[in-house]
């Protein structure tokens, strides 16, 4: 009996070790930290993902909103969390721009976080006043070369600000930047004709377009949006090669077991392949965009460089 037990023991140990190496799901609730307030598009998307992730991992998945400092407060909280798969982070477009916008971050964007998957793309719609003479991006560029025009954004260093800066740099024009504290203020400025253009995500521009209060001359993505199929891309509307796309993505603290990161990534890709989920995303003016961890890491690296150039060309001083 003792000899039989001794023969079985190595096998049991190997089986236990193999099981631990497969990185089973966490055995307690998982939280997704959203570094913005409740009700925004990042929060909405995180809640959709959490709802569908919970039954797949047999654990509650809760949302914790930690807004402030362009997402830095919530991100730092995740970086300092245990790397055991129980804390995840849903970031928004400022994430790869922050290294250029901030003189000092309390974490290293690439070193201290493990990419899981992009969740959705964040497009921008170029809006002009309803009575504007500009029907295309080419029209606006030509007019900006003759007149002093202005564009609006919500806060310095936002995706809209950087996208406009990139637009001006690639078009070889100068436009005055007018930052507003909120999207409704910027919308009002466009509707009154005080600024020539404002780039904003579809979730807030769709109601304005439906009310015929402004006109769209292009979208910032490389292809047309399903929510606005009649609006051309800026690249085909007058500025070839232009693309300024942000994203929402899911990450974990660095050191999270790679096998567990891979399992989370596979689960997110499965969720985002569901037609019902994709339709729900589309209703909010965004598109599902699942990636592998390696693909996401490559995109983060490229976007840090891209937005770094945009910040320098816009003359923005890191704070």
Going residue by residue through the chain (319 aa), what tens digit of pLDDT does each one get? 444 444 444 544 444 444 444 458 999 999 999 998 888 889 999 999 999 999 999 999 999 999 988 899 999 999 999 999 999 999 998 899 999 999 999 999 999 999 999 999 888 999 999 999 999 999 999 999 999 999 998 877 788 888 998 899 899 999 999 988 888 899 999 999 999 999 998 888 889 999 898 999 999 998 898 889 999 999 999 999 999 888 999 999 999 999 999 999 999 999 999 999 999 998 887 889 999 999 999 999 999 998 888 888 777 888 8
pLDDT of residue 20: 41
The three-state secondary structure class of 33 is strand
Give the pLDDT confidence score for residue 21 in this predicted structure.
42
pLDDT of 9 reads 47
**What digits encode the pLDDT tens for the residues 33-78?**
999 888 888 999 999 999 999 999 999 999 999 998 889 999 999 9
| Domains parsed from the chain with CATH numbers | 30-122+245-314 (3.40.190.150), 125-219 (3.40.190.10)
Other residues' Cβ atoms within 10 Å of the Cβ of residue 29: 12
Burial class of residue 3 (count of CB atoms within 10 Å of its CB; 0-12, 13-18, 19+): exposed
In tens, the pLDDT along 257-267 reads 999 999 999 99
- pLDDT reported for residue 23: 56
The per-residue pLDDT for 284 is: 82
pLDDT in tens, 166-182: 899 899 999 999 988 88
Which residues are CB-neighbours of 305 under 8 A, at least 6 positions away?
Answer: none
CA distance 119 to 299: 13
* Per-position b or e across 262-286, b if 16+ CB within 10 A of its CB: ebbbbbbeebbeeeebbebbeebbb
CA distance 295 to 66: 27
User: How many beta carbons lie within 10 A of that of residue 56, not counting itself?
Assistant: 16
């Amino acid at each position: 009996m003792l000899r039989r037990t001794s023969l079985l023991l190595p096998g049991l140990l190997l089986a236990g070790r193999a099981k631990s190496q497969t990185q089973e799901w966490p055995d307690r609730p998982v939280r997704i930290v959203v570094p913005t307030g409740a009700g925004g598009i990042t929060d909405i998307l995180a809640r959709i993902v959490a709802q569908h992730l919970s039954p797949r991992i047999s654990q509650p998945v809760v949302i914790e909103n930690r807004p402030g400092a362009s997402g830095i407060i919530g991100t730092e909280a995740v970086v300092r969390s245990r790397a055991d798969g129980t804390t995840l982070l849903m970031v928004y477009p400022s994430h790869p721009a922050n290294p250029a916008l901030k003189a000092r971050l309390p974490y290293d964007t690439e070193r201290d976080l493990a990419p899981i998957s992009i969740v959705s793309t964040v497009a921008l719609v170029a809006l002009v006043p309803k009575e504007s003479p500009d029907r295309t991006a080419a029209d606006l560029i030509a007019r900006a070369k003759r007149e002093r025009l202005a564009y609006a954004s919500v806060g310095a260093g936002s995706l809209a600000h950087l996208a406009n800066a990139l637009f001006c740099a690639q078009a070889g024009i100068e436009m005055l930047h007018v930052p507003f504290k909120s999207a409704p203020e910027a919308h009002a400025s466009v509707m009154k004709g005080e600024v020539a253009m404002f780039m904003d995500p579809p979730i807030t521009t769709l109601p304005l377009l439906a009310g015929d209060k402004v006109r769209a001359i292009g979208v910032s993505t490389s292809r047309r949006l399903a929510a606005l199929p009649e609006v051309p891309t800026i690249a085909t509307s007058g500025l070839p090669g232009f693309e300024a796309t942000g994203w929402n993505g899911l990450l974990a603290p660095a050191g999270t077991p790679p096998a567990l990161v891979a399992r989370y990534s596979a689960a997110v890709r499965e969720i985002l392949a569901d037609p019902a989920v994709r339709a729900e995303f589309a209703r909010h003016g965004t598109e599902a965009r699942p990636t592998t961890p390696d693909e996401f890491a490559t995109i983060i690296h490229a976007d840090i460089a891209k937005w770094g150039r945009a910040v320098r060309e816009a003359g923005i001083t890191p704070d």
